[in-house]
């Protein structure tokens, strides 16, 4: 009986050892329990998917700056050419007709006057110096109580930039302050102004009548300022002799005080009305001032 019990216990021990050899070792089980939840090096396919997701969620590139000027379209270029051609036509008209004819021309269609001055401003934008600015500085350096007559005022730039009382005169009035009239026949009283200005406005075949009108409205010792395109007074290129022009103006009863040829685009003439006027009527020979025609750009 005792031997039978020993054999049974021996078989149990042998069965227990066999089952332990087939089970997973303890250190292996601990290692699997402490391993990280995510692999340190994910598969390549997952990495690509992650990159694609991040790129799609990134903000879009900023729009191009609005300060960059867009190139002109073909239609815009054609419109600019038409505007330039219209200005040249009107400019030639003003230089080759009388003041009375020009006044009636713009009365029929006042909008053409705006077309002309838009083209005029475009041309002036290419000049390094504007003659009206020189005249403005000249007036600011003299008596602010002087009364000024601006013959051919355009958009009345002179009146807006000085403290003087200014009579702005032109063919068309787009502003209540501008007097629309023929510059050879203004509504101003005789001997009523201290300064008469012609800034690039001696246009028309009867320009001498404009200067006669300036002489009429100027007070004794009043100043006459003339700014004109330089080529009109270049005898070597078909322009008038400036000395002949000055003599003609002096024949009206002015004294020439100074001339300024320092600017390559325009010339300046300064005259003063004589206090005592001659009663004799002199025949004055006025030089022809050639039209100032602008080239196509």
CA dist., res. 225 & res. 259, Å (int): 10
Instruction: Kindly report, residue by residue over 204-257, the tens digit of the pLDDT.
Output: 999 999 999 999 999 999 999 999 999 999 999 999 999 999 999 999 999 999
Domain 77-273 has CATH 1.25.40.10: no
CA dist., res. 49 & res. 98, Å (int): 83
- The alpha carbon dihedral of 113, 114, 115, 121 has a sign of positive
By mean pLDDT, which of 38-42, 114-118, 126-130 is the weakest?
38-42
By mean pLDDT, which of 43-57, 74-88, 93-107, 244-258 is the weakest?
43-57
CA angle 86, 89, 91 (to 5 degrees): 105
Contact of 278 with 253, CB cutoff 8 Å? yes
At 179 the three-state DSSP class reads strand
What CA–CA distances, in Å, run from 119 to 78, 122, 142, 154?
15, 5, 32, 12
What phi and psi values does residue 154 have, to the nearest 5 degrees? 65, -120
153 confidence band (pLDDT: 50, 70, 90) = very high
Is residue 82 pLDDT above 60, yes or no? no
At 234 the three-state DSSP class reads coil
Domain boundaries, the chain: 77-273
Q: Per-residue pLDDT averaged across 179-188, rounded?
A: 97
Q: Per-residue pLDDT averaged across 162-185, rounded?
A: 96
Q: Give DSSP secondary structure letters for 207-231.
A: HHHHHHHHHHHEEEEEEEEEEEEGG
Better pLDDT: 275 or 13: 275
By mean pLDDT, which of 81-90, 122-131, 204-213 is the weakest?
81-90
Q: What is the pLDDT of residue 32?
A: 45
Mean pLDDT over each residue of the chain, to the nearest integer: 81
Neighbours of 54 (CB within 10 A): 9
Instruction: Kindly report, residue by residue over 14-73, the tens digit of the pLDDT.
Output: 655 555 544 444 444 444 444 444 444 444 544 444 444 444 445 555 555 444 556 656
Q: Per-residue pLDDT averaged across 133-139, rounded?
A: 98
What phi and psi values does residue 44 have, to the nearest 5 degrees? -60, -40
Burial (CB < 10 A; 0-12, 13-18, 19+), residue 58, is exposed
Residue 170, H or E segment = strand 165-170
Burial (CB < 10 A; 0-12, 13-18, 19+), residue 270, is middle
Q: What is the pTM of this model?
A: 0.72
Task: Tell me the H-state helices in 96-197.
Answer: 99-108, 111-124, 131-140, 157-160
Q: What is the pLDDT of residue 30?
A: 46
282 confidence band (pLDDT: 50, 70, 90) = confident
CA dist., res. 153 & res. 156, Å (int): 5
Is residue 102 pLDDT above 90, yes or no? yes
CA dist., res. 181 & res. 149, Å (int): 13
Q: List the structure tokens of 65.
A: 């700056």
């Amino acid at each position: 009986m005792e031997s039978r019990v020993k054999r049974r216990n021996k078989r149990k021990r042998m069965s227990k050892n066999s089952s332990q050899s087939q089970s997973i070792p303890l250190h292996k089980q601990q290692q699997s329990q402490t391993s990280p939840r995510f692999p340190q090096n994910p598969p390549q396919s997952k990495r690509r998917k992650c990159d694609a997701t991040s790129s799609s969620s990134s903000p879009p590139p900023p729009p191009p700056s609005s300060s960059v000027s867009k190139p002109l379209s073909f239609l815009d270029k054609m419109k600019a050419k038409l505007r330039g051609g219209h200005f040249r036509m009107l400019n030639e008209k003003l230089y080759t007709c009388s003041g009375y004819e020009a006044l009636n021309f713009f009365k029929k269609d006042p909008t053409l006057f705006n077309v002309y001055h838009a083209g005029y401003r475009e041309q002036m934008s290419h000049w390094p110096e504007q003659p009206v600015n020189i005249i403005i500085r000249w007036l600011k350096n003299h008596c602010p109580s002087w009364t000024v007559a601006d013959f051919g005022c355009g958009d009345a730039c002179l009146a807006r930039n000085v403290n003087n009382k200014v009579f702005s005169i032109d063919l068309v009035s787009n502003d209540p302050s501008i007097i629309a009239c023929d510059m050879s026949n203004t509504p101003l009283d005789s001997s009523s102004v201290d300064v008469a200005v012609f800034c690039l406005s001696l246009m028309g075949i009867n320009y001498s009548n404009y200067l006669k009108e300036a002489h009429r409205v100027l007070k004794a010792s009043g100043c006459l300022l003339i700014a004109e395109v330089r080529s009109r007074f270049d005898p070597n290129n078909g322009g008038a002799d400036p000395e002949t022009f000055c003599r003609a103006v002096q024949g009206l009863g002015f004294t020439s005080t100074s001339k300024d040829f320092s600017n390559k685009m325009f010339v300046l003439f300064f005259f003063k009305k004589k206090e005592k006027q001659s009663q004799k009527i002199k025949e004055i020979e006025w030089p022809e001032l050639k039209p100032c025609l602008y080239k196509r750009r």
